[in-house]
């Protein structure tokens, strides 16, 4: 059985900082998701998701935990590598707009991110450690929650 970690107060107290970093683009649905699940460990569930990388490459990827508010804030400063992936892997802006991505979950060597706005708003992506680049996991937070067993 899955039990979320208690980080509600920390997330709520950090919400203004997170809103500032992401230009007040966090949806009510995403705030509810983080309020309920922020910092939840999922590794014992042995979740494996199918990621569809640009260029028609499909790869299974693990998921360890939902980001804490501290991780969302700390990771933000390093998200420039996503644009490096776009260049290196020749990923089309028609596939992902990295400037709109916000961390949502982690594995041991990669990130899951949600698009907060733009033409891909709501889609959940995976950024690996550099082997494949950025891949699409699903088209909505609701779908992501189903895939990881949180709904």
Closest CA to 109 of 91, 86, 93, 132: 132
What CA–CA distance (Å, rounded) separates 84 from 119?
20
Percent of the chain with pLDDT over 70: 93
Q: What is the pLDDT of residues 103-122, one digit of tens each?
A: 999 998 999 999 999 999 99
Return all residues near 74 (Cβ < 8 A) that are at least 6 apart.
Answer: none
Contact 18, 73 (CB under 8 A): yes
Q: What is the dihedral of CA 19, 23, 29, 35, to 10 degrees?
A: -10
Global pTM value: 0.90
DSSP state of 22: T
The residues, ordered by sequence, that sit 6+ positions from 135 with a Cβ below 8 Å of its Cβ are: 51, 52, 53, 54, 57, 59, 61, 125, 126, 128
For residue range 73-96, list pLDDT tens digits in order. Answer: 999 999 999 999 999 999 998 999
């Amino acid at each position: 059985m899955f039990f979320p970690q208690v980080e509600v107060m920390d997330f709520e107290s950090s919400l203004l900082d997170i809103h500032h970093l992401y230009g007040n683009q966090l949806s009510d649905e995403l705030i509810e998701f983080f309020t309920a699940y922020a910092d939840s460990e999922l590794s014992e569930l042995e979740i494996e998701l199918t990621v569809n990388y640009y260029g028609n490459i499909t790869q299974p990827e693990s998921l360890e935990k939902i980001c804490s508010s501290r991780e969302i804030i700390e990771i933000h400063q390093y998200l420039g590598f996503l644009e490096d992936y776009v260049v290196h892997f020749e990923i089309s802006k028609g596939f992902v707009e990295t400037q709109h991505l916000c961390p949502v979950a982690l594995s041991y060597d990669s990130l899951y991110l949600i698009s907060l706005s733009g033409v891909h708003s709501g889609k959940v992506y995976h950024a690996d450690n550099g082997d494949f680049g950025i891949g699409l996991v699903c088209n909505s937070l609701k779908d992501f929650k189903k895939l990881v067993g949180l709904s």
